[in-house]
């Protein structure tokens, strides 16, 4: 899930999604955005990958896990 | 729609920040530090406000601040730090929070906690406040109140509770110096008890009031040596529930800090009177002519003003910065510090080991400043 205090929104000025949190701003790429948009409930990585396969080709669970871990390292996501 | 893997390969993971290049092309700013007022119930001797405080009658009006927020968002600002002085001293704070949040900004309140009540906290949270940054002066009531110059400590503990009760993330900010360094372990414990998500332990940087009080604030070498293992152990112990950020003063570093990630690159500061500063300390550079939002649109100031273009990119650099391979990383260090210590705002930051003027910093570190008394930050009533 998104850590408390983190917001994902769309910035019209930059034409990009942005992650807003106390320490700064990140501009995630569209792949990360696709993952982040699914980090709202209590889905597991496998469930997120399954949901992404409905919209994209070639989604590997390991790629999703890598993205989730990197976002957790940046303190954007937390595991619950 | 393109396939997942192709997207993944074709796009950078994180957007890169603005680059320092010799071609002057500014990118939109990400953040605005809005100093709503210089009025403050505290008198901390390291206050980052300028020595010449701005009086209440010169502060921007509510309508002017609302316009600044709108202009800032149109310009690209995503993070708004409502600061001061004490921002709670402005009665229009709730209106400004609503407006900034409605525009899509992430709104951070930087506060001493004095003046925060349950009803004000609930109201601000409902209006979309995203985060609270609370200053703490020390671990013991005695030290904390001595530094604050008033009975502030118990209010801060109460304020932290209110922030947590409102469900907002809390950062505790502590400026470290000779008079509170020995309380470091207790300060960390206090932040834990307060329920902070993040604790920023920043050794004093010498600008404004802190520069004036440098001899009294400068920690001893022994204090700095003792601090490191304490911070390291605590960081491990609280991992997962509190993040600790420890910042040492750059006088002790071999290379300068990448100040502001480059001049006029990511963030700007609005002074209470509408002056727009490329750096919160920029009024220190007396040769810099500042523009004001009362006369000039914010976008014009960001992109076209002499002050914001003065040290953008690399063309302004002198040797040794001009040919240094680190110039794109540290941007030559801090312009305000260069001016304050060398008298030339375009000089290499003298904390840099490559600076021909590093001796200035070494002499300050070697000097025994004695035990002078603090010059406490004055009240705004005496300001212009």
Contacts of B75 in chain A (CB under 8 A): 13
Class level of CATH domain A7-73: mainly alpha
Span B169-196, average pLDDT:
97
**Which among B4, B7, B104 is the nearest to A9, CB-wise?**
B104
Contacts of B133 in chain A (CB under 8 A): 22
Tell me: the pLDDT tens digits for B242-288?
999 999 999 999 999 999 899 999 999 999 999 999 999 999 999 99
Contact yes or no for B217/B293 (Cβ under 8 A): no
Residue B381: the pLDDT is 62
> DSSP assignment of B32-86, as one string?
EEEE--S--S---TT--S-SSPPPGGGSPPHHHHHHHHHHHHHHT--EEEEESS-
Q: How much of chain B, in percent, has pLDDT values that exceed 70?
A: 92
Contacts of B73 in chain A (CB under 8 A): 13
Beta strand residue intervals within B215-283, DSSP E: 243-247, 267-270, 275-277
Domain ranges for chain A: 7-73
> Listing from the earlier edge strand, what are the strands of the sheet with B79-83?
B243-247, B198-203, B170-176, B131-135, B106-111, B79-83, B31-35, B267-270, B275-277, B291-292
Tell me: the pLDDT tens digits for A10-34?
998 889 999 998 888 888 888 889 9
Contact yes or no for B36/B87 (Cβ under 8 A): yes
**Which among B7, B79, B243 is the nearest to A31, CB-wise?**
B7
**Which among B30, B130, B243 is the nearest to A25, CB-wise?**
B30
Tell me: the pLDDT tens digits for B331-350?
999 999 999 999 999 999 99
Tell me: the pLDDT tens digits for B28-65?
999 999 999 999 999 999 999 999 999 999 999 999 99
Whether residue B4 and residue A13 make contact (CB cut-off 8 A), yes or no, is: no
Residue B25: the pLDDT is 67
- Give, in degrees to the nearest 5, the angle at Cα B252 between B191 and B202: 20
Span B189-209, average pLDDT:
96
ipTM comes to: 0.85
pTM tops 0.80, yes or no: yes
Whether residue A26 and residue B14 make contact (CB cut-off 8 A), yes or no, is: yes
Tell me: the pLDDT tens digits for B287-297?
999 999 999 99
- Give, in degrees to the nearest 5, the angle at Cα B30 between B27 and B31: 135
Q: Rounded to a whole number, what is the distance in Å from the CA of B169 to chain A's nearest CA?
A: 6
Residue B336: the pLDDT is 94
């Amino acid at each position: 899930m998104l850590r408390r205090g983190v917001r994902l929104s769309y910035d019209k000025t930059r034409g990009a999604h942005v992650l807003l949190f106390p320490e700064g701003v990140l501009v995630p790429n569209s792949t990360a955005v696709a993952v982040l948009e699914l980090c709202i409930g209590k889905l597991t990585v496998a469930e997120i990958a399954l949901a992404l396969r409905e919209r994209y080709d070639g989604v590997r669970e390991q790629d999703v896990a890598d993205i989730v871990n990197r976002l957790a390292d940046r303190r954007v996501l937390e595991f619950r | 729609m393109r396939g997942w893997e192709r997207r993944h390969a074709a796009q950078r993971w994180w957007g890169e920040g603005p680059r320092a290049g010799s071609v002057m092309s500014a990118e939109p700013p990400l953040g605005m530090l809005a100093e709503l007022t210089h009025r403050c119930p505290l008198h901390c001797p390291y206050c980052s406000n300028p020595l010449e405080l701005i009086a209440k009658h010169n502060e921007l009006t509510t309508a002017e601040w609302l316009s600044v927020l709108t202009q800032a968002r149109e310009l690209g600002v995503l993070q708004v730090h409502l600061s001061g002085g004490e921002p709670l001293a402005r009665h229009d704070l709730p209106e400004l929070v609503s407006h900034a949040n409605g525009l899509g900004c992430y709104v951070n309140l930087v506060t001493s906690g004095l003046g925060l009540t349950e009803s004000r906290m609930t109201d601000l949270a409902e209006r979309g406040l995203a985060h609270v940054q609370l200053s703490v002066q020390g671990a013991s009531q005695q030290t904390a109140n001595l530094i604050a110059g008033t009975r502030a400590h118990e209010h801060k503990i109460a304020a932290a509770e209110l922030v947590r009760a409102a469900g907002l993330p809390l950062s505790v900010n502590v400026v470290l110096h000779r008079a509170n360094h020995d309380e470091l372990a207790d300060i960390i414990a206090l932040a834990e008890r307060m329920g902070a998500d993040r604790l920023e332990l920043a050794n004093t940087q010498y600008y404004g009031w802190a520069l004036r009080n440098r001899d009294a604030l400068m920690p001893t070498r022994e204090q700095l040596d003792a601090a490191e293992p304490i911070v390291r152990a605590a960081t491990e112990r609280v991992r997962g529930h509190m993040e600790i950020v420890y910042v040492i003063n750059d006088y002790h570093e071999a290379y300068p800090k990448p100040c502001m990630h480059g001049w006029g690159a990511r963030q700007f500061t609005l002074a209470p009177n509408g002056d727009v500063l490329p750096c919160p300390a920029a009024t220190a550079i007396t040769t810099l002519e500042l523009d004001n939002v009362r006369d000039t649109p914010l976008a014009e100031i960001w992109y076209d003003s002499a002050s914001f273009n003065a040290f953008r990119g690399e063309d302004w650099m002198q040797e040794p910065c001009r040919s240094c391979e680190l110039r794109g990383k540290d941007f030559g260090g801090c312009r305000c510090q260069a001016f304050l210590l060398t008298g030339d705002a375009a000089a290499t930051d003298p904390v840099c080991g490559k600076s021909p003027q590093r001796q200035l910093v070494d002499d300050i570190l070697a000097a025994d400043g004695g035990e002078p008394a603090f010059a406490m930050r004055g009240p705004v009533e005496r300001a212009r």
